[in-house]
Chains A and B, each alone.
Chain A
Amino acid sequence: MRNAMTRKSTLRKASILIIATLFAGIALADSGFFKTSKHGSAAIGVYRDSDLPRGNCSQCHLEHDNEIPFDFALFAPNDNGLCQSSGCHEFQYQWPPGYYYWPYPGNVPDWYNSGHGSSVNPFPPGTTREVRLCLQCHNPHTSGDSLHGAFPSATSNLEEHGCYSYNGIPGQGCHGNNNANRPIGAVDIYSQLLKPSKHDVTFKTKIHSSDWSPNYPYGRESRATNSGFFSGNNRHVECVDCHNPHKSISGNHIPGENEIGGALLGIWGVEPTNNAGWTTPVIFDVVDFSSMQTAREYQLCFKCHSYFAFGNIPPTGYTDIAREFNPANASYHSIEDTIRTNSYTSPSPINGFRETMESPWDNGRHDQMACSDCHSSETVSDPKGPHGSNQPYILIGSPSAADISFCTKCHKASVYSPPVNPGTQETGSRFDRQTTGEGDASHYYHVVQRHFGCRQCHATRQNPPPATPERTTPYPTQVGSAHGTNTFPGLMNGANISDYSPGSCTPTCHGRENYTAGPE
């Protein structure tokens, strides 16, 4: 009995010790990193008072010397004003050109206008700690862990963990999946990043801070084309590659436009110089996302998914999307420019003024779109943006060649998959019996009667074409094939369709068919 009690007591003590150790490890994540931090550096550390050593504790803490005492014996009240005073984080920094320097609260108005900086909501809920406090994300003493060393930019958590973790526990942070812990206004991004297809922000650590000096202590990345900063071993994505936490505001892009939403303010992208169709743009201009009206979402994506990032050699599984979206191509999705020639995407005399697009593209214009219109969560109610999806390629729907649900999110199913045979009625499509004069030369016949998916004909390049193409079972799709092609108009894919022009289609399923077609 006594032995059992002793064992129980020992186990209890051991449990307490383990819990205490874990807690200590979490709570004291700043242990020992200050000396090697940038705040504590003798070369670039805090220098409020030139009579004191640079980086010295007393640059911020006056021990007991302050005439008017403040919390923690600080020289000023323990709030953002302390950080943004004394020549420290209050400047509009003028960085050297040619690089991007990591988000920095140099512009105080920007901070207080930002989504984070304007939020007085508490985090964690139930406390009085407002989201807008610098200390919500930063530890002025610098945090770190034994695996990664000091965390860059004096953040309390390492990189993405600062967004969705709390006290080192993933999912408990502002953008975590614990609904009870999220401050008002914050969305759950962590759940998106747990999905099988995602921008994997955990893939690399500290890559942004690898190139720094006293002149740019928070790291930088090159803005030069094919600089190597975005390719090879440097290929990466972090939350701050797309979001500037000191400047972004809430809000997504306006559907029907390709301008950025507020969530992308404060970062940068690249604008390609487009040449002839299907030529790879190799010249890019840097675009600072300083306003939502002047920045385009694709410019951000091109930063990593084009020649700008990797030159002529895309990483395995990737393509140069700047080439695919080139408005000089024969057909493309309109993320850069409107579809200037396809009169069937909006009501016009030639399609009987039928609307062929779902909302919000059903406004009578040849609208533009953004990458995140297709690349986002598969669940409509989830936060927008290409964070993650249960569908491949972070798509909002299945890219399967036999599945039309993805395409009919935007292109009306009533037009391209009418539930009943429209006969000679105008559907709005150029490929209906009313236009072609032939019942088989219609979407109704191919999609509804033969059960072909959209991508059996559109937007699936394959070379060589599949041996038995007339199948309804999906065959592998090619990355980027729906973005654009210079092979044929109408995103005809060159796999099942070996030749195409309006009024003449040569599929691999049957012989050439000629029919009446409206103008392009």
Chain B
Amino acid sequence: MTSRILGILFINLAMSAAALGGEYHSQTDIICSDCHTTHYSERGALPEHADPGGPFSTLLLVASADRLCLSCHDGTDPTAPDVLAPVTMYNGSGSEFSGAGYFSAPEGTVSAIAHDLGVDTPVPFSVPPRSMIISCISCHDPHSTSNYRNMILNPDSAGAPINIALDTDVFENFRPQVPPNRSATIAAYRSDNIGYRSGMANWCADCHDALFPNAPGNPPAHFQRHPSDAGQDGSGYHVNVGHWMNGSGDGFGITTGDNLEGVPRLRFQAPTATNYGSAVTPASNNQIFCNSCHFAHGGPYDSGLLWPFKIAGEADLYSGCQQCHYK
């Protein structure tokens, strides 16, 4: 009876993955048994790669989804994007980090510089205030979704789905290969390989909903909180469009943390982009969005920021702000 139920579940899972047809974990790069076991209780012996103490929820091989994900994405699998510090795979790639950055520690550790995995923590900027235990599957569906990077459609499990479609809202220059190989993975996941058009801020604000909507300010202020999805070319905005487009001087540099003022150009949304090229071309209508300043997973600096915004003595202290505001 049990095996029949598990068999049905397996078939359902396989079919749902095939139906969604997401980017990754949906093709021949991975198979169900890489993550799940259906026979945990039948013989009493540990399946290959399984943790002791099972069976585990959703028939996982290991005790938690985070542990399962990080078993590949912790840098031990050279073909899988590494999301756990220390990350070295992007060194020399042209990008300092991957698009989402990295977690500072495995699950169960509180960190100031990244999303905390497996820890019950208050959700910043949520209305009403709440806490949650965030895990990899809080944001990504390992069985794939129609969204870019298998991002789930509804992070807070309420409201309408949020679509962030590859080649519509987000663009890539290089795609990961199947089966994966190290160089293709690096090329695909490095930060500079991704161009943005829309949708990311809405997705983040599904949980951090206090940030949206942003109350209008009193002139000459336009906003009361730092805006997102706001173009450089907004009328009277307190930014220096010419400086942003020029891309040199204050705020702009080659490397973050090299003791020279300036960091690589922050990421931006290009609201009229139709392809990767147009999505990464600086223009007067470029928009700031959450990922302009923050790595989704985390990064080397407080709050997953891309530059050492709050570290005294750093040459790059003001760099991110200066790229747009040039004060």
Contact = CB atoms under 8 A, between A and B. Distances in A.
B9 interface: no
B4 interface: no
Which of A32, A34, A64, A66 has the most chain B CB within a 10 Å cutoff? Answer: A64
A172 to B, nearest CB: 18
Contacts of B318: 34-35, 40, 56-57
A24 interface: yes
Contacts of A56: 309-310, 312, 317-318
Interface string A59-97: 001011010011111000010000000000000000000
A30 interface: yes
A32 B224 contact: no
Q: Report, as a range, how many residues of chain A touch the other chain.
A: 20 to 34
A35 B312 CA distance: 13
Nearest to B318: A35
A53 B311 contact: yes
A78 B250 contact: no
A61 B125 CA distance: 17
A202 B262 CA distance: 36
B192 to A, nearest CB: 25
Contacts of B225: 63-64, 66, 69, 73
A107 interface: no
A31 B243 contact: yes
Give the dominant DSSP class at A's interface. Answer: loop
Nearest to A49: B310
B92 interface: no
Contact of B224 (A57, A71, A141): A71
A42 B261 CA distance: 14
A102 to B, nearest CB: 23
A54 interface: yes
A33 interface: yes
Contacts of A42: 312-313, 317
A303 to B, nearest CB: 37
B327 A71 contact: no
Nearest to A70: B224
Which of A58, A61, A66, A71 has the most chain B CB within a 10 Å cutoff? Answer: A71
B226 interface: yes
Interface stretch (B11-19, B115-123, B213-221): B213-221
Interface residues of B, number: 31
B249 A32 contact: yes
B224 A69 contact: yes
Contacts of A276: none
A26 interface: no
Contacts of A35: 250, 261, 318, 322
A64 B225 CA distance: 5
A57 B215 contact: no
A52 interface: yes
A28 interface: yes
Interface string B221-259: 101111000000000001010110000011000000000
A71 B219 CA distance: 9
B312 A71 contact: no
B321 interface: yes
Given A28-B240, A35-B318, A56-B317, A73 B310 contact: no
A71 B221 contact: yes
B266 interface: no
B327 A63 contact: no
A374 to B, nearest CB: 45
Nearest to A31: B326
Given A33-B327, A71-B217, A71-B218, A53 B313 contact: yes
Given A66-B224, A72-B224, A73-B223, 11 more contacts: A33-B327, A34-B318, A40-B318, A52-B310, A57-B309, A57-B318, A63-B226, A66-B225, A73-B225, A78-B218, A128-B219
5 contacts: A32-B326, A34-B322, A42-B317, A53-B310, A64-B211
Interface of A: 24, 28, 30-35, 40, 42, 52-54, 56-58, 61, 63-64, 66, 69-73, 78, 128, 141-142
Interface of B: 125, 211, 214-215, 217-219, 221, 223-226, 238, 240, 242-243, 249-250, 261, 309-314, 317-318, 321-322, 326-327
